[in-house]
Copies of this chain bind each other. A is one copy, B any other.
Amino acid sequence: MITVMNSVNKPINEVEKCLDSQLWHACAGGMVQMPPVNSKIFYFPQGHAEHAQGNIDFGNFPRIPALLLCRVSAIKYMADTETDEVYAKIKLVPLRNNDCDFDDDGFLGIDKIENQEKPASFAKTLTQSDANNGGGFSVPRYCAETIFPRLDYSAEPPVQTILAKDVHGEIWKFRHIYRGTPRRHLLTTGWSNFVNQKKLVAGDSIVFLRAENGDLCVGIRRAKRGIGGGPEPSSGWSALGGNCAPPYGGYSAFYREDENKFMPHGKGGNAHCNERLNGKGKVRSESVIEAATLAANGQPFEVVYYPRASTPEFSVKASSIRTAMRIQWCSGMRFKMAFETEDSSRISWFMGTISNVQVDDPIHWPNSPWRLLQVAWDEPDLLQNVKRVNPWLVELVSNMPTIHLSPFSPPRKKLRLLQPDFPLVGQFPMPSHLSKPLGPAASFIVYQTTFLQAYREPGILNLDYLHQISTSTNCSQVCFLLGSSSLITLPHLEPPPSASWTILKIVRMFLAC
């Protein structure tokens, strides 16, 4: 009557069990970059509060700063015992000296991670067939050939047993077979049991990872529900990184690519489970208040961070904040921001314009840069719920080709565009020469105006017209950009798409980059 788990090893009963950092990162998603131990971060109680359920009233507590400079003293990579959801326990030590050496970010870890070979991993969103039918899993060829152990194709049919370790160290057994016409890779025996035990439904993702020691690991990323369909708090989203290279590093699945791709809800069953997956309610309010109070008093504290909660990181590496705060944010500025695709397989950049620069919650958190920017997206449908973003998560786009700066090169000199709406510069101590505003770049506005006009007349734009505009406006820059393919893939243009909307998107991409 009791389903016996098809696992070889029983999980060890430890009080606090950390898991392999590589598997953790694979489950967290490609954009999440955790700050290395001993690096400096800014802690945002306001952002921490978004991790909790309901509204937290800090009113009764002594004024807590909107952001506090801290040193990361320890990180524990963990996974929820029930849901396998990954989270991290971060120990932080507040630093008295908010004004510290600019480049001394302690972020040596990033380089280390960058240089160190990333373990091969593969994520796939479960189809209906994967989750429901007959207990089989269709293995994409890439995954079978790159991640799975080498299969002996001489056998007829080629079969092998695959052992994969989950986030708890438990080992799951699958039968991997290569068969059918045309031939394809499948997981059969063992898969159904895995789906049932982990309560997976179509839309959830599975992550296979080949660890450094050769072990195969398996993690899961549960689909976020209620984004396209149900009500989603307007604050819900997650993104991290932006102004520094690499330009992303932490995010969460957000927009819906294809409305009818799958049915995210199974019939009943794990409704209770789903509640905790939608951003809010990850941590208790008391923990947030406790952390914020300790932080404000300069005492060491611990935060729990759920990388897949639909809320931005609240411990952001110090240099990102400083870089972002040096910019004179103005409405009208064009920017791009990275998001994870809904199936967590890729990263997409979305373009937008700053519509307002305004403190999010002036009563409780005056002068807080948290969610400072109100934005209008070029594709408003896909990002309906993202109304306000953190400055350090966006990357300004100018008429200049993007130059990626390493974290050790001097901070990029951003063009000062229009008039500053929000004089945050000066809040943070920094070398004086950097806060000097630079001359306006009129040409950018010209381009923008031109193409916005074009956008208002849909249907008349095509690639020729684009060339025509770029020539007629005498903007060699645009021509140059059309020749570059740094950020979009050219195959999308051939054959030239007929829908003007698509062209517009491309035009805007070109223009922006």
Contact = CB atoms under 8 A, between A and B. Distances in A.
Contacts of A131: 1
Given A82-B272, A272-B82, A266 B195 contact: no
B132 A201 contact: no
A182 B251 CA distance: 67
State the copy count for this chain. 2
Interface string A479-491: 0000000000000
A36 B109 CA distance: 64
Contact of A269 (B2, B81, B135): B2
Contact of A266 (B1, B10, B192, B196): B1
Nearest to A270: B2
B272 A81 contact: yes
Contacts of A135: 1
A55 interface: no
A4 B10 CA distance: 28
A267 interface: yes
Interface in A400-430: none
Contacts of A10: 268
B2 A201 contact: yes
A5 interface: yes
A269 B37 CA distance: 37
Nearest to A192: B1
A3 interface: yes
Nearest to A81: B272
A1 B204 CA distance: 15
B269 A3 contact: yes
Nearest to A268: B5
Size category, A interface: 20 to 34
Contacts of A201: 2
Interface string A1-20: 11111000010000000000
A276 to B, nearest CB: 13
Contacts of A269: 2-3, 5
A266 B81 contact: no
Nearest to A201: B2
Contacts of A132: 1
Contacts of A82: 272
A23 B436 CA distance: 74
A268 B1 contact: no
Nearest to A199: B2
A198 to B, nearest CB: 11
A248 to B, nearest CB: 35
A4 B81 contact: no
A3 B5 CA distance: 17
Contacts of A286: 286
A17 B5 CA distance: 34
A266 B5 CA distance: 12
Contacts of A5: 268-269
Interface in A239-284: 266-269, 272
A386 to B, nearest CB: 27
A5 B267 CA distance: 9
Contact of A2 (B2, B3, B267): B267
B195 A267 contact: no
A165 to B, nearest CB: 17
Interface in A60-86: 81-82
B268 A4 contact: yes
Contacts of A1: 131-132, 135, 192, 195-196, 266
Nearest to A1: B132
A68 B3 CA distance: 49
A192 B1 CA distance: 8
Interface in A95-148: 131-132, 135
A330 B501 CA distance: 92
Nearest to A200: B1
Contacts of A3: 269
A384 B226 CA distance: 53
Contacts of A2: 201, 266-269
Contacts of A268: 2, 4-5, 10
A4 B286 CA distance: 37
A392 to B, nearest CB: 36
Contacts of A272: 81-82
7 contacts: A1-B131, A1-B132, A1-B196, A2-B266, A2-B269, A4-B268, A82-B272
| 7 closest residue pairs by CB, A with B | A2-B269, A2-B266, A5-B268, A1-B132, A2-B267, A4-B267, A1-B195
Given A3-B269, A4-B268, 14 more contacts: A1-B131, A1-B132, A1-B135, A1-B192, A1-B195, A1-B196, A2-B201, A2-B267, A2-B268, A2-B269, A4-B267, A81-B272, A82-B272, A286-B286
